[in-house]
Structure 1
Amino acid sequence: MSRVDTRPSAVVAEGWGWRYGTRKAWAARRISLRIEPGERVLLLGASGAGKSTVLHALAGVLGGADEGEQAGRLLVDGADPASARGRAGLVQQDPDAQAVLARVGDDVAFGCENLGVAREETWARVREALDLVGLDVPLDRSTSALSGGQKQRLALAGALAMRPGLLLLDEPTANLDPDGVAEVRDAVGRVVDRTGATLVVVEHRVDVWLPLVDRVVVLGTPSGGGEGVIADGSPSDVLVDRGAALAAGGVWVPGIPPRRPGPPAAAPGEVLLSARDLRVARARGVAVAGPMDLEARPGEVLGITGANGAGKSTLARTLAGLLAPFGGDVLASPRLAEGVGAAPVRWSSRQLLTRIGTVLQSPDHQLLARTVRGELEVGTRALRLPEAEIRRRTDELLGSLRLARLADANPHTLSGGEKRRLTVAAMLATRPRVCVLDEPTFGQDATTWAELVAIVARLRDGEDGEPAAVVAVTHDAEVLAALHAREHRVVPAGVRS
């Protein structure tokens, strides 16, 4: 394959920082570094270090003075990133949130059309970009019919079609199965080899990206007093020579695993929620998975696994009473269903609160309030609990999930990992007997991953009350191992599991 004509970009940060308009604390602060054209950089840091903020700033999408306050200077090719349209291409972590148009070709062409590229040139770039990322599908293929790995390669193709000199990847494999991770990583490798573009990737799966990068930069957390760049060098200099200290601060370091909780405290209890001959569907008339039988018991974690697009999230929503079964039944035990009937899909939202709690895959789809504290109070206020009890539960969760410093922040300004902890905390506030968690640990640093896993283990074991039944959808095999989960692999519709 011939080399694509792209001029790699240079990045300069001089004491740069950003504070969102709705936040008192800085999201990123006192960052100084230079990235030379064509360098491949892995950007690391604990949750809340400002990694995503830096990428959004480099992409020119943070907004102006009305949306926040900037300190210092940040330049791409010597100019303010907001004025360098098309020089930076950003690919984010949620595959489903990035497709803008219904057909593959139109979606890849979208950025070029916004830049005013001529039609003939646009479609030549579309085909070239799809070829470069290895997405061999018809241009009229529905974007919704793609797997997670294909959707991320689609987003990568859309960025490439604009011929950016700077490629920015914000945890692009966070929600992908192992095959999807390899697809995206290999596609990025082909892209940087053929274009020479400067690469900055934020990822917690450090070992996946080490073969592609030549430099590792680690950011400190402003709230923890570790502002700016705290480590910078070759992968071996940073991750080997300073690995122990970085791991202690929450950075994922290969070979230094986070702590794990102990095994279940007791044998599982009687079934709280069961599925019989269940088939699930995203849209009417089309089953995506099943038939299947499964049971959720207190004192046990049921791990839901399977390939991207297999129907795991659809199954989770069906078990949680948010979607009607396409076929078969989801039934609550008499104890769980007391006073409300056996079918969770018929329960009101208030009846679900203390019975089945849900954490959706995308945190933004679940955020309702203007502040983090308000978000934690939504469920308890719906239950009409006394004010003192609402405050007690809220303060406890703010502390245990490291959200206290963000209590007055707008939830939508939080990092992806912080949003995930917030949605988990909001579910825990109403103390449901069954907890359905869709990718509960995505976006977490090593410290917050361990803390979230420990919280799920406490739920399972009933350390703060009665043992709960936990259903966890995850691609993270380490989560299942740490929680001693019983695995149920979702298979395509028509194949019995």
Structure 2
Amino acid sequence: MDPTGTRPGALEARSWGWRHASRRAWALRDITLRIEPSERVLVLGASGSGKSTLLHGFAGVLGEGEDGERSGELLIDGMPAADARGRAGLVLQDPDAQVILARVGDDVAFGCENLGVPRADIWPRVRAALDAVGLDVPLDRPTKALSGGQKQRLAIAGALAMRPGILLLDEPTANLDPAGVVEVRDAVARVAAETGMTLVVVEHRVDAWLEVVDRVIVLGGTGDGARGGGDAAGGGAGVVADGAPDEVLRRDGASLAAQGVWVPGRPPRHPAPATLPNGKPLLEADDLAVARVRGTPVARVAHAVVRERGVLAITGANGVGKSTVGLTLAGLLPPASGALLATDALADGAGPAPIRWSSRALLTRIGTVFQEPEHQLLTRTVRDELAVGPRALGMSEPDVGARVDELLRRLRLDHLAAANPYTLSGGEKRRLTVAAAIATRPRVLVLDEPTFGQDARTWSELVALLAELRDAGTAIVAITHDREVVRALGAEELAMGAHG
């Protein structure tokens, strides 16, 4: 076999299914399909329908035994997918999970070195891959200094540099700014055309990829639509649509939209506009410089006010410091310089500097949702995850249970109450972390990419819940590339440029 893996591969599923070890329900069941060499396929489906699990299976990283139970077969070029590792390059939803080495160049080179690519060929590949995805940073830049969107570009560059016969992308543009979505999509399409590799992309947003794929496969299943019954021993409905993109969307567009698939021309529901004006200031920033590393500011905010019943959207390109601003507003990073003050209406005796508040004081004042959900998962079940904050506040168990049950229902997580949070899909993890932040009913809610990984239905439900919180008096700060959420919540926009 060619050590660079450039020969395009064929993928096949024969009545395949997977059940995570901690779950009674099957993530996928009875999946039968075949993807020919050099095909470019977009895989769609509601949040929780098993799209990521299918890619992990083809990449040979699911395991068995303690990890879960398999039915049927997954094949690459006619051999079991688990025996064909290296033929398929996988880019995960969570870019942090794929950062291996401390410097950018070394990280991109890592896969090539493992494949035995001649050393003289590795560094030209590294530079070409970084150029292709638009990650314009020095090769010795520390990977820990990259933003979430930059790490996503880094992961894609590492996969492209290996020139695999099959490239599997799991929501590759979810953390990218709008210009970056186009840039990365075009880079992937260009490399696929040059090498003939087989391309399989999982995405919720259809329109970004329609022009570069030649086939759409839609997975069905109970997914997030399940209601009640706990983690029922059900399973997916297999492949519910398969064909040319125009044909599938024309024939099945209405039914797909009803399932939550993002169908072009069928926008999600928006909540009603706010009926009351913004209230009192809760946080005020003036000439605020922010930094992850002391003495190295990455962004500056001239002036910003976070108000009761207000939504402040922090927008801008990847790498301009949006997440760092959010963590500073949340009292989790100290200001590098300038002023960030909590007004008496928020501080209520805790003092004007959120960075000096205790964790208990923060619980009811400022709730935070990190960009990467895995960074704040603490327990072994979804139900326990939602109970952490209320229990820390000393609430009675009946009150904790009532609050948790309501959040499970509102965010379509009730059928997953007993599941291990780490086995959830990316969209489910995002809703879980939002729910956990809401559980303590903070006055301010800071959300980093709150709509990441959502299908159209769960997007509408999540945005509707945020609108309810806004109308009830909560101040919301949303760091987002999602223009739709800015419009839906009537947000004031803090647009950050290259210098903050």
TM over 0.5: yes
> Relative to 1, partners in 2 of residues 1:485 and 1:34: Cα closer, same or farther, differing over 3 Å?
same
> Relative to 1, partners in 2 of residues 1:385 and 1:408: Cα closer, same or farther, differing over 3 Å?
same
Residue 256 of structure 2 aligns with an amino acid whose one-letter code is L
- Structure 2 distance, partners of 1:262, 1:66, is 47
Is the contact between residue 91 and residue 172 of structure 1 (CA under 8 Å) also seen in structure 2? yes
Match of 1:469 in 2: 475
Match of 1:35 in 2: 35
1:373 matches 2:380: no
Match of 1:489 in 2: 495
Match of 2:403 in 1: 393
Match of 1:454 in 2: 464
- Structure 2 distance, partners of 1:274, 1:481, is 23
2:363 aligned to 329, 337, 353, which one?
Answer: 353
1:261 matches 2:303: no
Is the contact between residue 95 and residue 175 of structure 1 (CA under 8 Å) also seen in structure 2? no
- Structure 1 distance, partners of 2:145, 2:306, is 30
Shift of 1:100: 1.7
| Equivalent residue runs for 1:36-51 within 5 Å | 36-51=36-51
Is the contact between residue 149 and residue 181 of structure 1 (CA under 8 Å) also seen in structure 2? no
Match of 2:195 in 1: 195
Match of 2:298 in 1: 288
More deviation, 280-289/142-151: 142-151
Match of 1:219 in 2: 219
SS at match of 2:281: coil
> Relative to 1, partners in 2 of residues 1:185 and 1:229: Cα closer, same or farther, differing over 3 Å?
same
More deviation, 432-441/216-225: 216-225
1:412 matches 2:422: yes
The answer for unaligned runs of 5 or more in structure 1 is none
Is the contact between residue 18 and residue 68 of structure 2 (CA under 8 Å) also seen in structure 1? yes
SS at match of 2:291: strand
Is the contact between residue 91 and residue 169 of structure 1 (CA under 8 Å) also seen in structure 2? yes
Shift of 1:22: 0.8
Cα displacement string for residues 310-354 of structure 1 (whole angstroms, at most 9, x for unaligned residues): 111001100010000011122112121112111111111111111
Cα displacement string for residues 202-231 of structure 1 (whole angstroms, at most 9, x for unaligned residues): 112211101100000000124557510000
Match of 2:311 in 1: 301
Is the contact between residue 152 and residue 175 of structure 2 (CA under 8 Å) also seen in structure 1? no
- Structure 1 distance, partners of 2:265, 2:259, is 15
2:486 aligned to 459, 465, 480, which one?
Answer: 480
Residue 289 of structure 1 aligns with an amino acid whose one-letter code is A
Cα displacement string for residues 278-331 of structure 1 (whole angstroms, at most 9, x for unaligned residues): 111111111111142111111111111111111110011000100000111221
Cα displacement string for residues 41-92 of structure 1 (whole angstroms, at most 9, x for unaligned residues): 0000000100000111111111222210001111111112221121000112
Please report the TM-score for the alignment, with normalisation by the length of structure 1: 0.94
| Equivalent residue runs for 1:65-84 within 5 Å | 65-84=65-84
More deviation, 483-492/107-116: 107-116
Match of 2:374 in 1: 364
SS at match of 1:113: helix
The answer for unaligned runs of 5 or more in structure 2 is 227-234
1:316 matches 2:322: no
- Structure 1 distance, partners of 2:309, 2:261, is 31
- Structure 2 distance, partners of 1:332, 1:128, is 47
2:256 aligned to 221, 246, 252, which one?
Answer: 246
Match of 1:160 in 2: 160
Shift of 1:122: 4.0
Please report the TM-score for the alignment, with normalisation by the length of structure 2: 0.93
SS at match of 2:38: coil
Shift of 1:141: 4.2
SS at match of 1:192: helix
- Structure 1 distance, partners of 2:299, 2:361, is 27
Cα displacement string for residues 453-486 of structure 1 (whole angstroms, at most 9, x for unaligned residues): 0000000001xxxx11111110000000011111
SS at match of 2:251: coil
Shift of 1:156: 2.3
Shift of 1:134: 6.0
> Relative to 1, partners in 2 of residues 1:408 and 1:324: Cα closer, same or farther, differing over 3 Å?
same
Residue 175 of structure 1 aligns with an amino acid whose one-letter code is N
SS at match of 1:484: coil
Residue 23 of structure 1 aligns with an amino acid whose one-letter code is R
1:272 matches 2:264: no
- Structure 1 distance, partners of 2:126, 2:335, is 39
Is the contact between residue 150 and residue 180 of structure 1 (CA under 8 Å) also seen in structure 2? no
- Structure 1 distance, partners of 2:329, 2:137, is 33
CA RMSD of superposed structures (Å): 1.9
Match of 1:340 in 2: 350
Shift of 1:159: 1.5
- Structure 1 distance, partners of 2:68, 2:447, is 33
Is the contact between residue 152 and residue 184 of structure 1 (CA under 8 Å) also seen in structure 2? no
Residue 410 of structure 1 aligns with an amino acid whose one-letter code is N
Shift of 1:199: 0.6
- Structure 1 distance, partners of 2:281, 2:137, is 44
Identical positions, percent = 67
Cα displacement string for residues 10-62 of structure 1 (whole angstroms, at most 9, x for unaligned residues): 11101111000011111111111011111100000000100000111111111
When the two structures are aligned, how many residues end up with a matched partner?
487
1:330 matches 2:336: no
SS at match of 2:435: helix
Is the contact between residue 290 and residue 491 of structure 1 (CA under 8 Å) also seen in structure 2? no
> Relative to 1, partners in 2 of residues 1:375 and 1:150: Cα closer, same or farther, differing over 3 Å?
closer
Residue 71 of structure 1 aligns with an amino acid whose one-letter code is S
Match of 2:170 in 1: 170
SS at match of 2:432: helix
Residue 42 of structure 1 aligns with an amino acid whose one-letter code is L
More deviation, 170-179/484-493: 484-493
- Structure 1 distance, partners of 2:474, 2:400, is 21
Is the contact between residue 20 and residue 68 of structure 2 (CA under 8 Å) also seen in structure 1? yes
Is the contact between residue 20 and residue 413 of structure 1 (CA under 8 Å) also seen in structure 2? yes
- Structure 2 distance, partners of 1:318, 1:205, is 31
SS at match of 1:305: strand
Shift of 1:103: 2.4
> Relative to 1, partners in 2 of residues 1:145 and 1:425: Cα closer, same or farther, differing over 3 Å?
closer
- Structure 2 distance, partners of 1:5, 1:204, is 28
Is the contact between residue 382 and residue 421 of structure 2 (CA under 8 Å) also seen in structure 1? yes
Cα displacement string for residues 187-211 of structure 1 (whole angstroms, at most 9, x for unaligned residues): 1011111010111001122111011
- Structure 1 distance, partners of 2:437, 2:458, is 17
Residue 212 of structure 1 aligns with an amino acid whose one-letter code is V
